[in-house]
Amino acid sequence: MPGQTTAYSPFAEAVMADPYPFYAQLRDQDPVCRVEEFVAVSRYADVVSLLRDPATFTSTRGNTREDMPQVADTTMITSDPPKHTDLRQLVNRAFTPKMVATLEPRVRAVTDSLLDTVIARQRFDVISDLAYPLPVTIIAELLGVDPEHGEDFKRWSDDSIAALGSGGSYGQADRMGESMGEFYEYFGRVIAERKSAPREDLISAMLLNAETVPDPGQLVTLCFLLLVAGHETTTNLIGNGTLALFENPDQLELLQRNPEIAASYVEEALRYDSPVQGLYRTTTRDVDVAGTTIAAGTKMLCLFASANRDGAQFRNADTFDIRRQPNIHVAFGSGVHFCLGASLARQEARIAVERMVSRLGRLRLDPDRPPVRLLNPTIRGLRSLPALFEA
Q: What is the pLDDT of residue 69?
A: 41
Q: What is the pLDDT of residue 331?
A: 98
Q: What is the pLDDT of residue 2?
A: 57
CB 28 within 8 A of CB 7: no
Q: Which residue has the higher pLDDT, 281 or 153?
A: 281
Q: Which residue has the higher pLDDT, 218 or 111?
A: 111
Return d(Cα 218, Cα 209) in angstroms, integer.
13
Q: Which residue has the higher pLDDT, 219 or 278?
A: 278
72 pLDDT tier (thresholds 50, 70, 90)? very low
377 burial type by CB count under 10 A (0-12 exposed, 13-18 middle, 19+ buried): buried
78 pLDDT tier (thresholds 50, 70, 90)? confident
Residue 123 half-sphere exposure toward CB, CA atoms < 13 A: 5
pLDDT-above-70 percentage for the chain: 90
pLDDT over 60 at 212, yes or no: no
* Predicted model pTM: 0.91
pLDDT over 80 at 122, yes or no: yes
Encode pLDDT of 109-120 as tens digits: 999 999 999 999
Q: 364: helix, coil or strand?
A: strand
Task: Give the best-scoring range by mean pLDDT among 49-63, 93-107, 141-155, 326-340.
Answer: 326-340
pLDDT over 60 at 67, yes or no: no
Q: 34: helix, coil or strand?
A: strand
Q: What is the pLDDT of residue 146?
A: 82
Q: What is the mean pLDDT of residues 5-14?
A: 82
CB 284 within 8 A of CB 296: yes
Encode pLDDT of 153-178 as tens digits: 878 877 777 765 544 443 455 676 78
Cβ neighbours, 10 Å, residue 338: 12
CB 340 within 8 A of CB 97: no
CB 225 within 8 A of CB 232: no
pLDDT over 70 at 63, yes or no: no
Q: Which residue has the higher pLDDT, 339 or 166?
A: 339
Bridge partner list, 41: 32, 302
Q: What is the pLDDT of residue 75?
A: 75
61 pLDDT tier (thresholds 50, 70, 90)? low
Q: What is the mean pLDDT of residues 140-145?
A: 89
pLDDT over 90 at 208, yes or no: no
pLDDT over 60 at 189, yes or no: yes
Q: Which residue has the higher pLDDT, 183 or 245?
A: 245
CA terminus-to-terminus distance, the chain:
58
Residue 136 half-sphere exposure toward CB, CA atoms < 13 A: 26
Q: What is the pLDDT of residue 304?
A: 98
Return d(Cα 32, Cα 333) in angstroms, integer.
19
302 pLDDT tier (thresholds 50, 70, 90)? very high
Return d(Cα 180, Cα 167) in angstroms, integer.
18
CB 281 within 8 A of CB 57: yes
Q: Do the bridges between strand 299-302 and strand 38-41 make them parallel or antiparallel, or are there none, so unpaired? A: parallel
Tell me the one-letter amino acid at 211: E
